[in-house]
Chain A
């Protein structure tokens, strides 16, 4: 097959490939579309039949309306922010006129964060937590994979902490962060640190375990190659261990990011830290007739972002993975 494709018989190739590819495209586009339409249909039918104490369960149309409302609210808030800054400049000028020693400064807008700002906060937090966790988990995973002794020493801890729910960590993290993270001019807010650390704690394990497994299951021949070549420890890790465990590490990373995203939303809900989780919780507490539709917008957004994050990781994995024949999904 390979050689055939390399032959520059373009026309025959096009002919061969085009027909199935149209089919494939149709199938790739149509099937999910059919799935979506069925889902929307079921959703709107079911929604009509579910009566909550906050009114009817929102159907697709109500949710769409709230999505546009959220966009409008965001825009309105941004306009408000503009006014805020002009007003602040005026106030600063007035104060300087009164008190020439005063050094005017512009303070950030104090309005409530909009839905889109909450999304951004969540994304930023999950990425920081995830990167921190990965920077810790991959080296430890490599050590565990390389040394049976290290693995035996660390494994009980991994098994002990892996199943712990993020929500159990949260109170401890909150207290520790507020006790340890004391600065007069904090670069990051405590709530951000708390969320990010909680995400990290839960992101650690899949990456750590998969890295350790990946490293320990390197083909023994490759290790022998390394020995015969007398690679030193560093080259052994960078030239043999890391590349050969990339697929396993990425499997772990993708799992971790997925878990991190779920954990973050839960942590934000529980700790009331800024982000999408807080948005959901606030709307739940509001209990207005629009709350459920707004929560649905958030739910769908959370899903879409989770999906996009996974796809991005997959793209990255495809980029760095040497095993191009492996089917990644």
Chain B
């Protein structure tokens, strides 16, 4: 105990007060950083606190901190794990957090008033893919009978068709088939619903109980007509909840699917890469008032995170092992190195021993992963409409307006240009900002082969067998 550096913590406190006694030794790189920063303007707020949930896709935050990218921007950032997505969002709204690692649906949901009403915006998309659906060992045993095999191994992607007989069996016995997802507006909710519905299992509608906001449901359960009952569990608790038998499966980000494999309590059956190839996942959200008050700070935060994302994908994922080491620290994700490494380094283990190569399981930068595309926002809005969270029909214009309110590629562009000017990034690594519409071309790679075109949300909704159509009401 004597070796405890309690004294040095006191010392550091004293240092905070000791202003001005500055060493004259300066490194050249520091000077050049600051020279180029002049064009952008100094940050209005230098001490920031960002929240995150213990998931591997928070990596850009951890890397930007550990690699000093935040400090390079003159930002002194504290990164703090949060209990669940609700707490995280509330803290961003009430200002305890300056920004946070968020579900893509959270800024959108908050803006339209589903759940908590607040203006949250995002100028940075944190990653593509990274989720999977896991079922418990017992369910897998039943499911496996209906999965086609090749060379003794199941053929992927596994569709929910294989799960349907299991769910039907539960239904005939009058037992509820419970599954976990992480939040009503989470990617996981929509992905799980997408996968289930594609296999003919109804995941349930959100009842049209209008609250303060017209046309937006206040139901957060979404159990109407459901074959599979989905409920909310915070990501890190997923394995424990399934182990306890409360749920039979879940959709969650990493490392909580690989954790189930390591613990031997469940089997991941499908990754979201297989449900929708290169789907947008988390975003970095801040409140709109915050962004308006501290514009330079916001741009600098985005700059640091773009650099972190670049570092994560650099040289064909060469830095991933180092990233895993950072993430396995207890203040970040904190799971064992092996568990995090499984998915972060380009592989994914389904059944124990069935490790397959999925190089794009976690994408942080390539394919313009960090750019906030309007079409990504609109996809989430279509899913909110599909399942009744948006209880009234909305026009295509409405979808575009909301997307433009929440997704802010303009801020992203300023950050990227600043990086290009500083020589830290090449223009070729970004979309052509002058011409970029924010809409990706029609995307085909969904598990049910339905094509998504972000410019026509209502037409897209018409294509689903299960789900509300553009003009239907519950």
Q: Do any beta carbons of A and B sit within 8 angstroms of each other in the complex?
A: yes
Residues of A within 8 A of B (CB): 53-54, 71, 74-75, 78-79, 81-82, 85-99, 102, 104-112, 116-117, 178, 189-191, 270-272, 281-289, 291, 294
The answer to whether B22 touches A110 (Cβ under 8 A) is no
Knowing A54-B263, A93-B24, the reply to whether A285 touches B236 (Cβ < 8 A) is yes
The answer to whether A106 touches B259 (Cβ under 8 A) is no
Nearest residue in A to B54 (C-beta to C-beta)?
A285
The answer to whether B263 touches A99 (Cβ under 8 A) is no
CA distance A89 to B82 in the complex (A): 31
The answer to whether A285 touches B237 (Cβ under 8 A) is yes
The answer to whether A110 touches B331 (Cβ under 8 A) is no
CA distance A191 to B339 in the complex (A): 32
The answer to whether A112 touches B331 (Cβ under 8 A) is yes
**B16 to chain A: which residues have CB within 8 Å?**
106-108
Interface residues on chain B, size class: 35 or more
CB distance from A89 to the nearest CB of B (A): 5
Q: Which one of B3, B30, B96 contacts A191 once the chains associate, using CB atoms below 8 Å?
A: B96
Q: Which one of B12, B42, B237 contacts A81 once the chains associate, using CB atoms below 8 Å?
A: B12
Q: Does residue B81 face the partner (Cβ distance < 8 Å to A)?
A: yes
The answer to whether A71 touches B334 (Cβ under 8 A) is no
CA distance A292 to B55 in the complex (A): 19
Q: Does residue B34 face the partner (Cβ distance < 8 Å to A)?
A: yes
Q: Which of B16-41 contact A (CB under 8 A)?
A: 16-27, 30-31, 33-35, 38
**B259 to chain A: which residues have CB within 8 Å?**
287
**B336 to chain A: which residues have CB within 8 Å?**
288-289
The answer to whether B330 touches A286 (Cβ under 8 A) is yes
30 A-B pairs, CB-CB below 8 angstroms? Answer: A54-B263, A71-B3, A71-B4, A74-B4, A85-B12, A89-B22, A90-B22, A90-B25, A90-B30, A92-B22, A93-B22, A93-B23, A97-B26, A104-B20, A106-B16, A106-B18, A107-B16, A107-B76, A108-B13, A110-B65, A110-B78, A189-B96, A191-B96, A271-B87, A282-B334, A286-B334, A288-B328, A288-B336, A291-B334, A294-B330
Q: Does residue B9 face the partner (Cβ distance < 8 Å to A)?
A: yes
The answer to whether B331 touches A94 (Cβ under 8 A) is no
**B78 to chain A: which residues have CB within 8 Å?**
110-112
CA distance A291 to B333 in the complex (A): 12
The answer to whether B12 touches A107 (Cβ under 8 A) is no
Q: Does residue B451 face the partner (Cβ distance < 8 Å to A)?
A: no
Knowing A53-B265, A75-B5, A110-B78, the reply to whether A283 touches B25 (Cβ < 8 A) is no
Knowing A53-B239, A191-B96, the reply to whether A283 touches B334 (Cβ < 8 A) is yes
Q: Does residue B210 face the partner (Cβ distance < 8 Å to A)?
A: no
Mask: chain B, 400-443; 1 = CB below 8 Å from A; 0 = not: 00000000000000000000000000000000000000000000
Most buried by B among A96, A107, A272, A291: A272
**B143 to chain A: which residues have CB within 8 Å?**
none
The answer to whether B96 touches A190 (Cβ under 8 A) is yes
CA distance A3 to B65 in the complex (A): 72
Q: Which one of B25, B30, B94, B243 contacts A53 once the chains associate, using CB atoms below 8 Å?
A: B243
The answer to whether B34 touches A95 (Cβ under 8 A) is yes
The answer to whether A91 touches B30 (Cβ under 8 A) is yes
The answer to whether B4 touches A82 (Cβ under 8 A) is no
The answer to whether A286 touches B15 (Cβ under 8 A) is no
CB distance from A218 to the nearest CB of B (A): 45
The answer to whether A106 touches B9 (Cβ under 8 A) is no
Nearest residue in B to A189 (C-beta to C-beta)?
B96
Nearest residue in A to B21 (C-beta to C-beta)?
A89
CB distance from A96 to the nearest CB of B (A): 7
CA distance A270 to B86 in the complex (A): 12
CA distance A88 to B34 in the complex (A): 13
Nearest residue in B to A294 (C-beta to C-beta)?
B330
Nearest residue in B to A191 (C-beta to C-beta)?
B96
The answer to whether B71 touches A286 (Cβ under 8 A) is no
Q: Does residue B74 face the partner (Cβ distance < 8 Å to A)?
A: yes
CA distance A85 to B236 in the complex (A): 34
**B82 to chain A: which residues have CB within 8 Å?**
272
The answer to whether A116 touches B4 (Cβ under 8 A) is yes
CA distance A90 to B77 in the complex (A): 17
Knowing A53-B239, A109-B12, A285-B54, the reply to whether A78 touches B5 (Cβ < 8 A) is yes
Q: Does residue B139 face the partner (Cβ distance < 8 Å to A)?
A: no
**A106 to chain B: which residues have CB within 8 Å?**
15-19
CB distance from B224 to the nearest CB of A (A): 27
**A287 to chain B: which residues have CB within 8 Å?**
236, 239-240, 259, 334-335
Nearest residue in A to B256 (C-beta to C-beta)?
A287
Q: Does residue B8 face the partner (Cβ distance < 8 Å to A)?
A: yes
CB distance from B317 to the nearest CB of A (A): 23
The answer to whether B334 touches A82 (Cβ under 8 A) is no
Most buried by B among A109, A189, A284: A109
* 10 closest cross-chain pairs (CB), A and B: A286-B334, A285-B236, A112-B331, A53-B263, A78-B5, A178-B94, A93-B22, A272-B83, A78-B8, A107-B76
Q: Which one of B8, B34, B265, B330 contacts A82 once the chains associate, using CB atoms below 8 Å?
A: B8
Q: Does residue B79 face the partner (Cβ distance < 8 Å to A)?
A: yes
Given contacts A107-B16, A285-B334, 9 further A-B contacts (CB under 8 A): A54-B263, A82-B12, A87-B71, A90-B30, A91-B71, A110-B47, A178-B95, A287-B236, A287-B239
Q: Does residue B396 face the partner (Cβ distance < 8 Å to A)?
A: no
**B79 to chain A: which residues have CB within 8 Å?**
110, 112
Q: Does residue B212 face the partner (Cβ distance < 8 Å to A)?
A: no
CA distance A294 to B334 in the complex (A): 12
Q: Which one of A87, A117, A191, A291 contacts B9 once the chains associate, using CB atoms below 8 Å?
A: A117
**A112 to chain B: which residues have CB within 8 Å?**
78-80, 331
The answer to whether B46 touches A107 (Cβ under 8 A) is yes
**B24 to chain A: which residues have CB within 8 Å?**
93
Q: Which of B206-235 contact A (CB under 8 A)?
A: 234
The answer to whether A272 touches B87 (Cβ under 8 A) is yes
**B239 to chain A: which residues have CB within 8 Å?**
53, 287
CA distance A189 to B91 in the complex (A): 12
Q: Which one of B1, B8, B33, B46 contacts A71 once the chains associate, using CB atoms below 8 Å?
A: B1
CA distance A221 to B136 in the complex (A): 73
Most buried by A among B4, B9, B26: B9
The answer to whether B330 touches A53 (Cβ under 8 A) is no
Knowing A82-B8, A97-B26, the reply to whether A110 touches B76 (Cβ < 8 A) is yes
**A79 to chain B: which residues have CB within 8 Å?**
5
CA distance A8 to B114 in the complex (A): 84
CA distance A286 to B54 in the complex (A): 7
The answer to whether B5 touches A288 (Cβ under 8 A) is no
The answer to whether B47 touches A74 (Cβ under 8 A) is no
Most buried by B among A81, A93, A190, A286: A286
CB distance from B470 to the nearest CB of A (A): 38
CA distance A199 to B16 in the complex (A): 30
Knowing A90-B26, A110-B76, A289-B336, the reply to whether A98 touches B18 (Cβ < 8 A) is no
CA distance A117 to B21 in the complex (A): 27
Q: Which one of B54, B77, B83 contacts A110 once the chains associate, using CB atoms below 8 Å?
A: B77
**A91 to chain B: which residues have CB within 8 Å?**
30, 34, 71, 74
Q: Does residue B264 face the partner (Cβ distance < 8 Å to A)?
A: yes
Q: Which one of B26, B81, B263 contacts A282 once the chains associate, using CB atoms below 8 Å?
A: B81
CA distance A287 to B20 in the complex (A): 44
CA distance A189 to B95 in the complex (A): 11
The answer to whether B236 touches A286 (Cβ under 8 A) is yes
